[in-house]
Amino acid sequence: MLSTAREVSVFGDAIAYFNEAAELLDLDAGTRRILTKPSRQIIFSIPFQRDSGELEVYTGYRVQYSFARGPAKGGVRFHPGVTLDEVTALAFWMTWKCAVVDLPFGGGKGGVTCDPIKLSPGELERVTRRYAAELVEVVGPDKDVPAPDVGTTPQIMAWFMDTYSMHIRQHTPGVVTGKPLEVGGSRGRVEATGRGVSLTTLAQMKEMGMTPKGARVAVQGFGNVGSIATQMFADHGCTIVGISDVTGGYYNEKGLDVGGAIAYAQEHHSLDGYRGGERITNAQLLELPCDVLVPAALEKVLTADNAAHVQAKLVVEGANGPTTPEADRIFNERGIVVIPDILANAGGVTVSYFEWAQDRNGYFWKESEVNDRLADVLHTNFTEIRQVSSLRSVPLRTAAYMLAIDRVVKAMKMRGMYA
């Protein structure tokens, strides 16, 4: 199934992090064998009609990595780079992410290899409905609960929910999270991932004796995660020295006007042509003079080639898997602290859990309640991670994996093996 070296290394990188923690936990070989294989991988074709009348076929995926702690949970990615290997790695990460913040979920992820920017709203709806229809038997509030990820939106979740509900002839808002408020979404869900990034960053800055006021922050990625985290950093008095999206980056050592950049990106659907700062590349953004660096785009951007040039003291993984194990090693050697993805960006799935719980009850919470509970979940589990980190003298990432693996293994052992 794995076709290129790049693809092999996405899941390979993920496994490398797992193995390091499994070693420290003295995990037996059999349990490791089970945990390094996905429970279920589904690949299917998505034929659909273009507005022009032409017929096209995309490939869709859903990987249900683990059910040990509950239904599979994780987003759906619409991106030209989607492969089975990438989706498997992302589903693997969801397993540890859900466990590290103690949610009653396993891990899953889905994707369609396509470029959603090039699809009309009608085409996007047809692709989404066909994707959902193919998965009707295997998703559901107690089976597997998709959500947004790169390239997917609340509207896409609404179409998914509607298609599923029509098929099973029952209104089922809890089949997906990240929906619009009008159809069973949760207040605070759109902001949740960015909010979690900023909450964990601020907590770690405090730990490191850094004050937010005037701290220089650079953020790669200006989608849902990056733009909201950037806004929250600015609200806390940080100086945003760099931002970027797929079209390139902008730098201003005195600080960019974040509100202006967000308004620009909303109007133009990207930062392309924004004039608020000096034009830089995405590669340059990662090496900017700054205190905090937040990669919030895609995986594998911090590598053995650039890790030695990173100037930040703190790296916060807004994206899933932005740091390769080689880069991680360099950061550890250089004393650069990394808040790992499975914690830093867990705010999204945490509020997805709140949404799922609200949908099941048919009773919706105030935004302040969502935000307070989110902060509580992140702080409680971050404290536990820190305790493991200092007790075992390991970096935050290893500690987070150790905590997550331990929780999943306990559930597995209690359930026993059905054979």
Residues with catalytic function: 109
Query: Please, which residue, 104 or 255, has the CB nearer to ligand GLU?
Result: 104
> Contact region for ligand GLU (CB under 6 A) — 131-139, 158-166, 344-352, 372-380?
344-352
Is residue 352 close enough to count as binding ligand GLU by CB under 6 A? yes
Q: Tell me which stretch binds ligand GLU (CB under 6 A): 305-313, 346-354, 392-400, 411-419.
A: 346-354
Beta bridge partners of 242: 218, 251
Q: How far is the CB of 259 from ligand GLU (least distance, A)?
A: 25
Tell me the per-residue interface mask from 292 to 331 with ligand GLU, x by CB under 6 A, - otherwise.
Answer: ----------------------------x-----------
Q: How far is the CB of 326 from ligand GLU (least distance, A)?
A: 23
CB of 60 to ligand GLU, least distance (A): 16
Question: Residue 66 interacts with ligand GLU (CB under 6 A)?
Answer: no
- Whether residue 67 contacts residue 148, with contact meaning beta carbons closer than 8 Å, is answered with no
Among 32, 62, 69, 73, indicate the residue that binds ligand GLU (CB under 6 A): 73
Tokens representing residue 324 in the block: 């390769």
Based on the shown chain and the rule CB under 6 A, indicate whether residue 70 belongs to the binding site for ligand GLU: no
Of 257-296, which residues contact ligand GLU (CB under 6 A)?
none
Q: Is residue 196 within the footprint of ligand GLU (CB under 6 A)?
A: no
Beta bridge partners of 127: none
Shortest gap between Cβ of 90 and ligand GLU (angstroms)? 7
Q: Is 147 in the site for ligand GLU (CB under 6 A)?
A: yes
Which residues of this chain interact with ligand GLU, rule CB under 6 A? 73-75, 97, 147, 149, 177-178, 320, 345, 348-349, 352
